[in-house]
């Protein structure tokens, strides 16, 4: 699979991590902004704002829930092809 491209914006990196998890693990896990503020999926401390940007730019891409004060997003499996096109991922790279 394509490696994380350093030219990706923070929004694209966030989308790439969610996509990668879905493809490798067949997981539609719910993600919180804090998941992208530490460890191997670190994209920056602005992850909350980037998550909001993604939801606003691509409303059909994610299922959005609220868990208490925090918002969680889950990849809409029907939109995987759209993410591949957007990020330039080739089908054979999976």
Q: Is the pLDDT of residue 31 over 70?
A: yes
Place of tokens 């997003």: 73
Q: Tell whether 94 is covered by a domain.
A: no
Q: Tell whether 42 is covered by a domain.
A: yes
Question: In the chain, how many domains are there?
Answer: 1
Higher-confidence position of 5 and 44: 44
Q: Which domain holds residue 59?
A: 10-89
Report the C-alpha gap between 44 and 20 in whole angstroms: 18
Q: Is the pLDDT of residue 14 over 80?
A: yes
Q: Is the pLDDT of residue 1 over 50?
A: no
Phi, then psi, of 24 in degrees rounded to 5 = -75, -40
Count of beta carbons in the 10 Å neighbourhood of residue 44: 12
**CATH classification of the domain holding 49:** 1.10.10.10
Q: Tell whether 79 is covered by a domain.
A: yes
pLDDT computed for residue 69 by the predictor: 86
pLDDT tens, position by position, 38-94? 888 888 888 999 999 999 999 999 999 988 888 899 999 899 999 999 888 876 554
């Amino acid at each position: 699979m394509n490696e994380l491209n350093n030219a990706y914006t923070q929004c694209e990196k966030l989308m790439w991590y969610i996509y990668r998890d879905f493809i490798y693990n067949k997981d539609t896990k719910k993600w919180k902004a804090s998941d992208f503020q530490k460890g191997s999926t670190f994209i920056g401390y602005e992850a909350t704002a980037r998550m909001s940007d993604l939801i606003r730019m691509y409303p059909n891409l994610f299922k959005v829930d609220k868990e208490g004060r925090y918002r969680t997003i889950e990849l809409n499996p029907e939109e995987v092809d759209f993410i591949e096109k957007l990020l330039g991922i080739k089908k054979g790279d999976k």
